[in-house]
């Protein structure tokens, strides 16, 4: 059923009709971008703009913005702002019938649907921040599912500490025939590479730091826009632009130098053991119940024919588990944060993984086995146990 939106902005009047289904879909897509706890009230509002046969909606928190659109019958062109969270919560509860939205005096907004009649307090459109414009040159097309897979395999390794600003995002490296994404928080590093892609317009190396919130939104947008095969990516001095179908996500760039990750990629981890990912995950989850709550340390003891896992704490007790392996090399004991290992195993899903170690003081490396589309490696610093 159509949703009718009719609004007035002082002198001009905006009046449109839009289906509830389409409006709610776009409101849902923008929820992650709307600023909840803001000291700048306008950021809690949507900007609605009606022209031609489209209603465009914009949400921003200044760092990240999303502009999206849906079909509308525009009787009179115009624009207004509406409280975003309240509108979303209200539209969800309305029946599938026409909704009429009108802008009243002093930016109040009237919303009518069937027998429901509500007034909301909007704000002046002039307060809404202006958004950067998508560049006309230097646009690179990235396969949507490739970018989604890379975000899923690296996003969890991004640092959450505000003080480590350049680690609050992932590094994307585009070359003419490959794409790489790297994320680290200083304790672990996720590195994924895909070769055999053709990136028109990329010469040499194009490096971009993508903030974590932008990556999370990108993944959600690709998930909710099933029919989009490629994402248009561009950037200027300060802003990143990702066009996903009818939606445009813009993000402030992270500045600064990403660490030299190639220096920490292990070169000579000569003790390799292949494990079933599900078995490994289940064993770690069991013993981790008894690890120290702060360190989450789990001890791995590699021996001929098996991998022993154990953890203990004065509060909860101790636990031991073991997995059969074909390993026949020298023994080795090493400690890792259980959460870091489980994050990797969750990201790769079921299947076999390779655990590659050198000695108790050196970083361990984990890789999924049997996937040739992506070269994925995960490096974890050891813990003293």
Please tell me whether the overall predicted TM-score, pTM, comes out greater than 0.85 for this model.
yes
* Same structural domain, 278 and 255: no
Residues of the chain with pLDDT under 70: 1-12, 161-166
Sign of the C-alpha dihedral computed for residues 107, 111, 112 and 118 taken in this order: negative
d(C-alpha 193, C-alpha 113), whole Å: 51
- Paired residues of 182 in beta bridges: 171, 191
| Helical packing angle, 144-154 and 338-348, nearest 10° | 160
d(C-alpha 94, C-alpha 87), whole Å: 11
Give the C-alpha distances (Å, rounded to integers) separating 313 from 287, 318, 352, 372: 11, 6, 30, 40
Angle at 178 between CA 174 and CA 183, to 5 degrees: 60
Identify how many contiguous H helices and E strands the chain contains and give both numbers: 6, 26
Q: How many Å from the N-terminal Cα to the C-terminal Cα in the chain?
A: 63
d(C-alpha 104, C-alpha 45), whole Å: 16
* Same structural domain, 114 and 158: no
Q: Which of 127, 158, 188 is the last residue of a domain?
A: 127
What pLDDT was estimated at residue 157? 94
Closest CA to 76 of 139, 122, 11: 11
* Same structural domain, 165 and 252: yes
* Same structural domain, 270 and 257: no
* Same structural domain, 118 and 217: no
Question: Per-residue b/e over 54-66, b at no fewer than 16 CB within 10 Å?
Answer: ebbbbbbbeebbb
Contact call for residues 331 and 232 (beta carbons, < 8 A) = no
Quick check: is 133 in a domain? no
What pLDDT was estimated at residue 286? 97
* Same structural domain, 221 and 161: yes
Contact call for residues 147 and 231 (beta carbons, < 8 A) = yes
Quick check: is 236 in a domain? yes
* Same structural domain, 169 and 207: yes
Contact call for residues 149 and 373 (beta carbons, < 8 A) = no
d(C-alpha 47, C-alpha 59), whole Å: 7
What pLDDT was estimated at residue 74? 85
Parent domain of 370: 266-380
pLDDT tens for residues 81-138?
999 999 999 999 998 988 877 788 888 888 888 888 999 999 999 999 998 999 988 9
């Amino acid at each position: 059923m159509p949703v009718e939106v009719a609004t007035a902005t002082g002198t001009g009047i905006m009046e449109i009709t839009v289906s509830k289904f389409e409006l709610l879909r776009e409101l849902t897509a923008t929820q992650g971008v709307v600023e909840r706890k803001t000291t700048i009230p306008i950021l809690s509002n949507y900007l609605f703009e009606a022209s031609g046969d489209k209603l465009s909606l914009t949400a921003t928190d200044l760092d990240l913005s999303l502009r999206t659109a849906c079909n509308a019958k525009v009787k009179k062109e115009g624009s207004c702002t509406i409280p975003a969270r309240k509108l979303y919560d209200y539209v969800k509860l309305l029946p599938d019938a026409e909704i009429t939205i009108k802008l009243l005096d002093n930016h109040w907004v009237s919303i009518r649907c069937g027998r429901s009649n509500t007034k909301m307090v909007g704000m002046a459109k002039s307060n809404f921040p202006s958004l950067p414009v998508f560049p006309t040159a230097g646009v690179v097309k990235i396969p949507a599912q490739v970018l989604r897979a890379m975000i899923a395999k690296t996003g969890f390794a991004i640092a959450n500490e505000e003080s480590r600003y350049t680690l609050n995002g992932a590094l994307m490296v585009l070359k003419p025939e490959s794409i790489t994404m790297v994320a680290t928080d200083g304790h672990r590093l996720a590195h994924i590479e895909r070769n055999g892609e053709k990136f028109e317009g990329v010469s040499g190396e194009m490096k971009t730091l993508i903030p974590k919130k932008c990556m999370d939104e990108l993944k959600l947008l690709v998930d909710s826009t099933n029919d989009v095969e490629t994402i248009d990516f561009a950037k200027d001095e300060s802003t990143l632009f990702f066009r996903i179908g009818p939606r445009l996500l813009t993000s402030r760039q992270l500045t600064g130098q990403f660490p030299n990750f190639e220096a920490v990629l292990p070169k000579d981890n000569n003790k390799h053991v292949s494990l079933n990912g599900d078995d490994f995950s289940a064993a770690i989850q069991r013993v981790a119940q008894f690890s120290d709550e702060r360190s989450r340390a789990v001890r791995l003891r590699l021996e001929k024919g098996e991998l022993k896992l154990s953890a203990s704490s004065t509060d909860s007790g101790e636990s031991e588990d073991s997995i059969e392996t074909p390993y026949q090399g020298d023994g080795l004991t090493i400690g890792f944060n259980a959460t870091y290992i489980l994050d990797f195993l969750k990201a790769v899903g079921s299947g076999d993984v390779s655990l590659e170690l050198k000695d108790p003081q050196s970083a361990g490396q984990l890789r999924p086995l049997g996937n040739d589309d992506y070269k994925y490696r995960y490096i974890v610093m050891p813990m003293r146990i």
